[in-house]
Amino acid sequence: MADPYYLTTAIHYPNGKPHIGHAYETIAADVVARFQRLRGRDVRFQTGTDEHGLKMAQKARDLGQSPRELADEMSGYFKELFDVLNISYDRFIRTTDDDHHRASQAIWRAMEAKGDLYLDRYEGWYSVRDEAYYDKKELVEGEGGEKLSPQGTPVEWTEEETWFFRLSKYAEPLLDVLKAPGFIEPASRRNEMVAFVERGLQDLSVSRTSFDWGVKVPDNDGHVMYVWVDALTNYITGLGYPDGGELWDKFWPADLHLIGKDIVRFHTIYWPAFLMSADLPLPKKVFGHGFLLNRGVKESKSLGNVTDPMELAETFGVDALRYFLLAEVTFGQDGSYSAEALVNKVNAELANSFGNLAQRTLSMIAKNMDGKLEQFETQPADDELLAKVTEACATELPREFEKLNFSIGIELWLRAVYACNAYVDEQAPWALKKTDPERMKAVLQTLFIAIRDLAIAIQPVVPEKAAAVLDQLGISTDRRRYADLSDQSWFGELVTAEHAIDKPTPVFPRLELPTAEA
């Protein structure tokens, strides 16, 4: 039985169309999902939209829509984007789904049964934008002297009757969880969370009476749950909580919650506390990735620098976008993007290096060998090259991807691509054609094996393009797992099957900047 692996992204606020940050997080998660599947694990991958809360209600009111209409429309854009980006999710969850309301009420009841929920009055500084109350000492002063949350968003003095969750009770066990190696990554985000708990935890206000767009508190209809209680619960709704069943038994606790750095507190303090209260096991890892900036600047409507990820995908291609985001940004840190940087990187690394390698090699095999492969005698240069490629594809890239060091893994892969190109130049198969045709065949077949391994290894990042290369090589779809990298038996099969390579078409055409950008 394959080892199960459950990963999730944050669920996205559909109070507007998806932006590049949403695309970035979901692409990264998809790379993990595909990578783990290629390693032979039984993967479940969930993403979706977070549709309740004041922010959604206010936005809908501004637009003269009902929150439900806004959620339906915008959630559709997220799903469409993720389908275009080739996101291999198993469930796209919407927090307005019926089973999600049931799950949220069930976890509420479990926390209540534990004695962790009580009704009281609340007065405090509330940020609608962050959907969070802040302590007076956490507030900062804006340019005009106004009070702002630590995230720089406006806060309002708010008073209401509310249910509280006894977060304070969980300080000690939470410290143990937070300090456990590997629970929060990158480790640099851990200290901040530990310090937050060590400063002392206050009980958390977990219901609202000022609006009704949310999950109703059981037996207390005037209250809806604080949006984060229901939002976090999505991770277990998707596995059949509270009924249990096959998915639940197999996949909980989650292996990875992949989220952005701004919501680490919710995932590493509140969520574990809710789960402990409900006597449920905790997720194994929470990874807080960095933010993506547009030429170093945060995107905002007022600056007019908002990029539509759908447009980027249409202009440059899905795999070019996926490759650029993963190869360019050190995962865990902030990163910057621009159309120029994307075009330059993709042209240099995919079109000119890997694409050209595949195109040249396959053309020569088609032209000079009738597209047929044979067994061949290797020379030390061939063995050396294949050893290098195997090391990069079967060991180095997987080792780094396992740690979510995508850019390092890709860099190591790229070095193997460069080694192949250097080998082509040294061996000069076009010259061997006249001087030593047998040796030419051996060189081209060495390259064939190298390209196969390079294409298999990079599948999680550029799934469509890698598949196109593997199709041209004639590698059957059940021979594309990482375990197939070290298996040479397939080669004999290809030979006896009289596999012939057709004249190839380039898989990675060179990109050009649209004229307005050039």
Q: Where on the chain is the footprint of ligand ME8 (CB under 6 A)?
A: 10-13, 21-22, 24-25, 50, 231-232, 234, 259-260, 262-263, 291-292
- Minimum separation from the CB atom of position 275 to ligand ME8 (A): 13
**Nearest-approach distance from CB 321 to ligand ME8, in angstroms:** 14
- Residue 203 to residues 116, 200, 262, 466, Cα–Cα distance (Å): 10, 10, 21, 51
Closest C-alpha among 125, 126, 145 to residue 136: 125
CB of 228 to ligand ME8, least distance (A): 7
The nearer residue to ligand ME8, 8 or 446, going by C-beta atoms, is 8
The span from the CA of 385 to the CA of 424, in Å, is: 10
Q: Indicate the residue among 161 and 262 with the shorter CB distance to ligand ME8.
A: 262
- What's the closest the beta carbon of residue 134 comes to ligand ME8, in angstroms? 16
Q: Least CB distance from residue 426 to ligand ME8, whole Å?
A: 43
- By beta-carbon proximity to ligand ME8, the closer residue of 16 and 115 is 16
Nearest residue (CB) to ligand ME8, 28 versus 440: 28
Distance CA 482, CA 401 (A): 13
Kindly tell me which of 10 and 358 has the beta carbon lying closer to ligand ME8.
10
Return the H-helix or E-strand segment holding 60.
Answer: helix 54-63
In angstroms, rounded to a whole number, what is the distance separating the alpha carbons of residues 323 and 380?
33
Q: How far is the CB of 292 from ligand ME8 (least distance, A)?
A: 4
Least Cβ distance, residue 298 to ligand ME8 (angstroms): 7
The residue among 356, 316, 352 whose CA lies nearest residue 337 is 316
Cβ atoms of 316 and 342 within 8 Å: the answer is yes
Q: Of the two residues 336 and 368, which places its CB atom closer to ligand ME8 in the complex?
A: 336
- Residue with smallest beta-carbon separation from ligand ME8: 260
Structure tokens at 213: 């767009």
Identity of the residue, 22 or 480, whose beta carbon is nearer to ligand ME8 in the bound complex: 22
Please report how close the Cβ of residue 260 comes to ligand ME8 at its closest, in angstroms.
Answer: 2
Q: From the CB of 333, what's the least distance to ligand ME8, in Å?
A: 11
To the nearest 10 degrees (0 to 180), the angle between helices 356-368 and 437-458 is 140
With tokens 């749950």, the residue in question is 225
Q: Which is nearer to ligand ME8, 285 or 415 (CB)?
A: 285
- Which CB atom, from 125 or from 235, has the smaller least distance to ligand ME8? 235
What is the C-alpha to C-alpha distance for residues 35 and 248, in angstroms, rounded to an integer? Answer: 22
Q: Which is nearer to ligand ME8, 11 or 43 (CB)?
A: 11
In the complex with ligand ME8, which residue's Cβ is closer, 36 or 46?
A: 46
CB of residue 95 vs ligand ME8: minimum separation in angstroms? 9
Q: Cα separation of 28 and 25, whole Å?
A: 5
Ramachandran angles phi, psi of 48, nearest 5°: 160, -160
254, 183 contact by CB (below 8 A): no
Sign (positive or negative) of CA dihedral 304, 310, 313, 315: negative
Ordered DSSP codes for 1-27: -PPEEEEEEPPBP-SS---HHHHHHHH
Residue 283 CB neighbours (<10 A): 24
DSSP 474-514: T--GGG-SGGGGG--HHHHHHHHTT-BPPPP--SSPPP---
CA distance 85 to 118: 44
Q: Are 254 and 6 in contact (CB under 8 A)?
A: yes
Shortest approach of ligand ME8 to residue 441 CB, angstroms? Answer: 49
**394 HSE (CA, 13 A, CB side):** 17
